[in-house]
Structure 1
Amino acid sequence: MDRAAETAGCKSRSEYLEKAALFYAGYVSGQEATAYLPPALASVLRGTVQDTENRICRLLFKLAVELDMVMNVLAAGMEISDDALRSLRGRCVQNVKKTSGSVTLDKAVEYQRGGV
């Protein structure tokens, strides 16, 4: 216990026991788990999450560029009224909500051909 207390930077056994009890209580309750993870592991987890976030952001940017290109190509070749565009936007918002974003070209073509 003396060696562990020294390693933990405690000045006494009672201080070490207090820290140990607080650590264990936090571990058992599961609150603020990062306080009980080894710093190296917490750092690796933060880095992994940051890398994933950066990758998703880059992919979303590329997707937005492609979508913008498609919309501009369609807008150049189609004549659609403002009312029809507003109506389509509302229908698309509802469709995306209803399908949780799982929208396919097949379903859009079916709808445009008069299907539901």
Structure 2
Amino acid sequence: MANELEKVRTGFYIEKEMLDQCDELLPVANVKSRNEFVTEALKFYCGYLTSQKAENYLLQTLSSVLTATVHDSENRIARMDFKMAVELSELAHVIACSHNIDETALHKLHLKCLDEVKRINGAVDFESAYKYQKREI
């Protein structure tokens, strides 16, 4: 009995229809008395009200964590894009230096690549480019 919480006797008014509904739901609630039913209902409702406060707090916390994560990911992607652009620029200069391509051919190649990248949605495939250059496609 030392482990039980202290109980107090109290009274309250309730509509007859609500009391009848509670009586019908005693077996569903897995309780033996109205007192247990009301206690469980009050625990549930208090938990619901408390969870609303916790939910608002958790939503704000989750929102700030997700925003920070997205921001960090955005920064990492931007840094990687910059590094890749530098590498691509170096590669383009090396290729331009080692091959004698006239401006007309370069312009045609640019238009072909632009069309290809649009068509394949940016999923460039080296093997396809190789076969095209070797006239296998």
Q: Same fold, TM exceeding 0.5?
A: yes
Specify the alignment match of 1:41 in structure 2: 62
For the aligned residue pairs, the C-alpha RMSD in angstroms reads 2.5
Q: CA deviation at 1:36?
A: 9.2
Give the TM-score of the pair, scaled to structure 1. 0.67
1:38 deviates by: 2.2
What secondary structure, in the 3-state scheme, does the structure 2 residue paired with 1:38 have? helix
Matched, 1:108 2:108: no
2:29 aligned residue: none
Higher Rg: 2
- Which structure: greater helix fraction? 1
Deviations 1:60-113 (A, max 9, x none): 011101101110100110000100000000000111111111112211111111
> Structure 2: 5+ residue runs without aligned partners?
1-44
**TM-score, scaled to structure 2:** 0.57
Whether 1:50 and 2:67 are equivalent positions in the alignment is no
Whether 2:93 is the aligned partner of 1:72: answer: yes
Q: Which runs of 5+ in 1 are unaligned?
A: 9-34
Q: How many pairs align?
A: 88
Does residue 94 of structure 1 match 2:115?
Answer: yes
Amino acid at match of 1:102: A
Q: Structure 1: which 4+ aligned runs deviate by more than 6 Å? A: none
